[in-house]
Amino acid sequence: MDESFFRLVFSRHSLGPKHQTIPAPDVGALRLAVSAACHVPCHGENLPFRWAEVASRDRLASLFEAALPADADEAARAKARSKALKGPMLLALIETDISPERSERDETERKLTAGASLMNLLLGLHAQGFAAKTVSAKDFEAPDGLYDPAGEAILCFVLVGTPDKPVDYNDIGQGSDEHLPLVRW
Ligand SMILES: Cc1cc2nc3c(=O)[nH]c(=O)nc-3n(C[C@H](O)[C@H](O)[C@H](O)COP(=O)(O)O)c2cc1C
């Protein structure tokens, strides 16, 4: 048995942007985590997602601001824009090749694959000493090239940085077995 796997999984936890500092992952670390995030079970030939690193936070801030009602005041605008600035690195998980022709079952399987990708990304970052937090995303009316609204949608954002306290890989708080959602049928 390879205990390092369980140590890694059980010691990972989400850490919000307030507890994330620089540095963000460099290109090599990001590519390694995304490679892990592409090594996932998938029923179709093509992965149903892609990852985007949001390099221009200002453009994302403008998307958040544009989603506000036209009469939003300055404070609301500043708050909306600030969402784009959180975390030393910001990634978007984007569902690709969306089609109304697919069955509900296919849709579910595609989401399962994207979820597996999210998990491997988080673990791939954690294994390299980085902290991350997944946060919800809403689709933008005009996403300014971040994704193509004709066939793509945002699934979530992931904020990434260096944890303000060093990662403890021995911190295996796996919780109580009583609450394991597992039955024998
Ligand atoms: C798709 C998705 C969206 C999420 N959105 C938010 C969010 O907007 N805000 C938030 O506080 N937590 C959000 N969460 C939950 C956190 O990312 C995190 O999973 C949760 O706090 C549990 O922490 P853990 O990873 O340490 O178990 C989201 C999780 C997922 C999977």
| Residue 131 belongs to some domain of the structure | yes
| Residue 171 belongs to some domain of the structure | no
Q: Would the CB of 134 count as within 6 Å of ligand 1?
A: yes
- What is the reported pLDDT for 170? 83
The angle subtended at Cα 170 by Cα 133 and Cα 33, nearest 5°, is 40
| Residue 29 belongs to some domain of the structure | yes
Mean confidence (pLDDT) of the chain: 94
- Tens digit of each residue's pLDDT (9 = 90 or more) over 19-44: 999 999 999 999 999 999 999 999 99
The full length of the chain comes to 185
Question: Which residue owns the Cα nearest ligand 1 atom 20?
Answer: 14
Domain count, the chain: 1
Token digits of residue 109: 């399987």
- Tens digit of each residue's pLDDT (9 = 90 or more) over 79-110: 999 999 999 999 999 999 999 999 999 999 99
Looking at residue 179, the DSSP 8-state letter turns out to be G
| Residue 137 belongs to some domain of the structure | yes
Domain span at residue 45 reads 19-164
| Residue 49 belongs to some domain of the structure | yes
Q: How far is the CA of 132 from the centre of ligand 1 (A)?
A: 10
Question: How far is the C-alpha of 65 from the C-alpha of 155, rounded, in Å?
Answer: 19
Give the CATH number for residue 155: 3.40.109.10
Neighbours of 119 (CB within 10 A): 16
| Residue 124 belongs to some domain of the structure | yes
Looking at residue 159, the DSSP 8-state letter turns out to be E
| Residue 55 belongs to some domain of the structure | yes
Q: Is pLDDT of 173 > 70?
A: no
Looking at residue 174, the DSSP 8-state letter turns out to be -
Q: Is pLDDT of 15 > 70?
A: yes
Sort strands 89-95 and 20-21 into parallel, antiparallel or unpaired.
unpaired
| Residue 4 belongs to some domain of the structure | no
pTM: 0.95
- What is the reported pLDDT for 174? 59
What string of DSSP letters covers 59-93? Answer: HHHHHHHHTS-TT--HHHHHHHHHGGG-SSEEEEE
Which of 64, 120, 134 to probe ligand 1 with, by most ligand atoms within 8 A of CB?
134
